[in-house]
């Protein structure tokens, strides 16, 4: 199956958005839109949430893009989630392609700001590590007002049996903010992956959300 055959929209999905999203040719076009659209890069350090990870730190970049680029990234048949849907490892590769395409701009911001907690780690290594991830800014996600915009069969099945992440995955939100979260690095510079994120790529494939 191709990604386009797997990725389906509900019959009530907005026709203008549908035409725009289905006109995209491939993931490279999505990446190109991101590179030309990205602006207002914000950076903050973040420690691991679990007690045993609080000595670890990661850079979190919040970036703004235009609404069409956000839509293409998250909701198109050739976008980020569609890559995971087709193959979990292809999704992981798509994630790396985006990070690499933005790498120098992100590093420039980190160097200019010189935040003490981040100056103590190798930000480049954090961004190029396997567990670095690109995602929507979840503060903007409509968790309390979900819409069912997608009709992707595996996610519909999971939602029907009560999987909450699948009900989120079936939503195709609009927005303008994305996050690039570098890998957590411990004081010795080792990549540390929180237990609940080890299978992230398979969660996105199965539910559309992680």
The pLDDT tens digits of the residues spanning 92-149 come to 999 999 999 999 999 999 999 999 999 999 999 999 999 999 999 999 999 999 999 9
* pLDDT score for 1: 44
Task: Walk along the chain (210 residues) in steps of 10 and give the mean pLDDT of each run.
Answer: 79 97 97 96 93 92 98 98 97 97 97 94 97 97 97 98 98 98 96 95 98
Three-state SS at 158: helix
* pLDDT score for 99: 98
> Domain map of the chain by residue range?
3-207
With vertex at residue 69, the alpha carbon angle to CA 131 and CA 46, rounded to the nearest 5 degrees, is 35
Three-state SS at 63: strand
Among 43, 30, 127, which residue's Cα sits nearest to residue 73? 30
Residue 36 tokens, joined: 């030309």
Cα 209 from Cα 204, distance rounded (Å): 5
* pLDDT score for 3: 56
Say what angle helices 88-113 and 200-207 make with each other, to 10 degrees.
120
């Amino acid at each position: 199956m191709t990604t386009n055959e797997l990725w389906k929209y509900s019959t009530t999905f907005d026709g203008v958005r549908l035409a725009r999203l289905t006109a995209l040719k491939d993931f490279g076009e999505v990446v190109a839109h991101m590179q030309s659209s990205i602006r207002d890069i914000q950076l903050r350090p973040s420690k691991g949430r679990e007690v045993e990870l609080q000595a670890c730190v990661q850079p979190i970049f919040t970036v703004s893009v235009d609404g069409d680029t956000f839509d293409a990234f998250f909701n198109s048949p050739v976008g980020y989630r569609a890559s995971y849907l087709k193959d979990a490892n292809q999704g992981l590769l798509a994630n790396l392609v985006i990070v690499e395409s933005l790498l120098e701009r992100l590093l420039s911001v980190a160097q200019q700001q010189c935040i003490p907690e981040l100056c103590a780690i190798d930000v480049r290594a954090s961004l190029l590590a396997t567990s670095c991830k690109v995602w929507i800014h979840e503060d903007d996600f409509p968790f309390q007002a979900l819409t069912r915009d997608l009709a992707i069969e595996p996610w519909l099945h999971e939602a029907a049996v009560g999987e909450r992440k699948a009900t989120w995955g079936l939503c195709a939100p609009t927005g303008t903010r994305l996050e690039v979260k570098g890998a957590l690095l411990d004081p010795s510079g080792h990549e540390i992956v929180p237990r609940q994120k080890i299978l992230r790529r398979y969660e996105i494939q199965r539910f559309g959300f992680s």
